[in-house]
Chains A and B, each alone.
Chain A
């Protein structure tokens, strides 16, 4: 039986980490992710886990220590946000290129500047091409579930890549909501024991990691890394199926909500999805053919599947909780429209940058998007595809 509880997103992830009982956690505090190592260090102090907890002096060191632990053969986890993630940046690429499975909970916060502690996706979206798998959760339940699934995905023999477990700062990390926890023994059985194929503490096979790769080698290593990312898509689906067995909860690469006969759709990520579902339900009651897609897996990008899901719509709004500053929309927009184009579908597409720096996203904001989409259907063209939602205009 699942355990009915009420936890904030950060508490829930700390509980998942307690249940997983990783070998090493190296972390440095930064709002709004601080509570994760804070709660977890209490579990360490109380002897509830036998993790080696490494308090470091910066996020660069946190990621470096995780890489060191990972190469040694340890199951490794950490957490960060915003500028902390930025300080990890160069080490993120090294973790991925060394093919080290580890789980980093990214509690999404606007990347300075101006300095801001609130939620948007500019931090993890900036790290989208660092070679990490990225899962995005809508609420505390998904943050918890993804933290557990991330371990199995990362450590799978066909993947061997680090995973970011992303969820929204404050909105998810600090709000207390109902949650269904899985029993400790079931989680432990689900993640199993980490058995790395090569590791530095193996006295029977001495290895060197992270070597120089000159032009005669580098490209092949990157190609191999890319293949792991390609493989991960299938593994993510496989792990979700196994997870359903122990939790009853269903996960995919994305969730298509009321998309079967939808003519107008929005695509978005994170905590605003629930708010948007509420609006979809209300509009459906009025007979409007609307739906939405919640992207759960951003890396690898589920291009073919997403295009298939959107092929029947007349128009689609893609919502980005960070600006791309290419002056042509955010990253989710670029990648979704690219997926549609490559797969031969051309619904009228429009981008909205929304919710930057903690700007609250209300049901009325989402209603406006669906109403704008109606206008696009009527006009049968998109005048201005690069839009902002909720920004104050003169």
Chain B
């Protein structure tokens, strides 16, 4: 399946990495793709490192294992770089997207000599500025969509607007700040190729 995109998410329990992977699956689904979105379940609790996965393809993906050689890796929490081997198996033709205020050049040392694309986004700053609370998943979702060119900006914005209206039907006041976080992230993600 040459057209298949595999993404691995690293986060901490409670930060919404699983939700972000499901939102990404949903957005890609809305553009007509076949998707898989699944976390690696365990007894983990708030703060424990967790992993979630996405497969996005033009035809149904038959594989039902975890992802060992992802095209892209998303790190939702910078402190995980010291704890988890986040670049394990990551293809050099792909990229890693990290939530950090640092530049890609500054963070590169911590990536075990990874030579693929390195992108950073200050999801904490964006989240605090737009939502007033620390929910990094929306900006991280936007960043990986941008980096992996999963869909164009307008399509993502449209898909997420729809999805947030459904997801936040009971708290509509958070829709606009989430959309703002999404849009900022699309423009602010920094590259080091």
Contact = CB atoms under 8 A, between A and B. Distances in A.
Interface of A: 6, 32, 117-118, 139, 168, 170-172, 174-178, 271-275, 277-278, 360-363
A176 B65 contact: no
A6 B62 contact: no
A178 B34 contact: yes
Interface of B: 1, 22, 25-26, 29, 34-39, 41, 43, 60-66, 68
A32 B63 CA distance: 21
Given A6-B25, A362-B68, A177 B36 contact: yes
A192 to B, nearest CB: 30
Contacts of A361: 64-65
B38 A277 contact: no
Contacts of B38: 170-171, 174-176
Contacts of A360: 65-66
27 contacts: A6-B26, A6-B35, A117-B41, A139-B64, A170-B41, A171-B64, A172-B64, A174-B38, A175-B37, A175-B38, A176-B25, A176-B26, A176-B35, A177-B36, A178-B35, A178-B60, A272-B64, A274-B62, A274-B63, A274-B64, A275-B62, A275-B65, A277-B62, A360-B65, A360-B66, A362-B68, A363-B65
B191 to A, nearest CB: 30
A174 B62 contact: no
A278 B29 contact: no
Given A175-B37, A178-B29, 13 more contacts: A6-B35, A32-B41, A170-B38, A170-B41, A175-B64, A176-B22, A176-B26, A176-B37, A177-B60, A178-B34, A178-B35, A274-B63, A362-B65
B41 A174 contact: yes
B162 to A, nearest CB: 13
A196 B43 CA distance: 44
B41 A118 contact: yes
A272 B66 CA distance: 11
Contacts of B34: 177-178
A117 B41 CA distance: 9
Nearest to B68: A362
Nearest to A115: B43
B60 to A, nearest CB: 6
Nearest to B18: A174
B27 to A, nearest CB: 11
A229 B35 CA distance: 38
A120 to B, nearest CB: 14
A274 B25 CA distance: 19
A296 to B, nearest CB: 16
Nearest to B32: A4
Contacts of B64: 139, 168, 171-172, 175, 271-272, 274-275, 361
A6 B41 contact: no
Contacts of A275: 62-65
Contact of A278 (B26, B36, B37, B62): B62
A117 B36 CA distance: 21
Nearest to B55: A177
A362 B1 CA distance: 16
A118 B38 CA distance: 14
Contacts of A277: 62
Contacts of A168: 64
Nearest to A355: B65
B40 to A, nearest CB: 9
A274 B36 CA distance: 13
Nearest to B21: A176
Contacts of A6: 25-26, 29, 35
In order of increasing CB-CB distance, the 4 nearest A-B pairs are A274-B62, A175-B38, A271-B64, A176-B37
A172 B43 CA distance: 18
B31 to A, nearest CB: 12
Contacts of A172: 64
A271 to B, nearest CB: 4
Contacts of B26: 6, 176
B25 to A, nearest CB: 5
Nearest to A176: B37
A174 B22 CA distance: 11
Nearest to B26: A6
Which of B22, B34, B36, B68: most chain A Cβ within 10 A? B36
B63 A278 contact: yes
Contacts of A177: 34-37, 60
A194 to B, nearest CB: 33
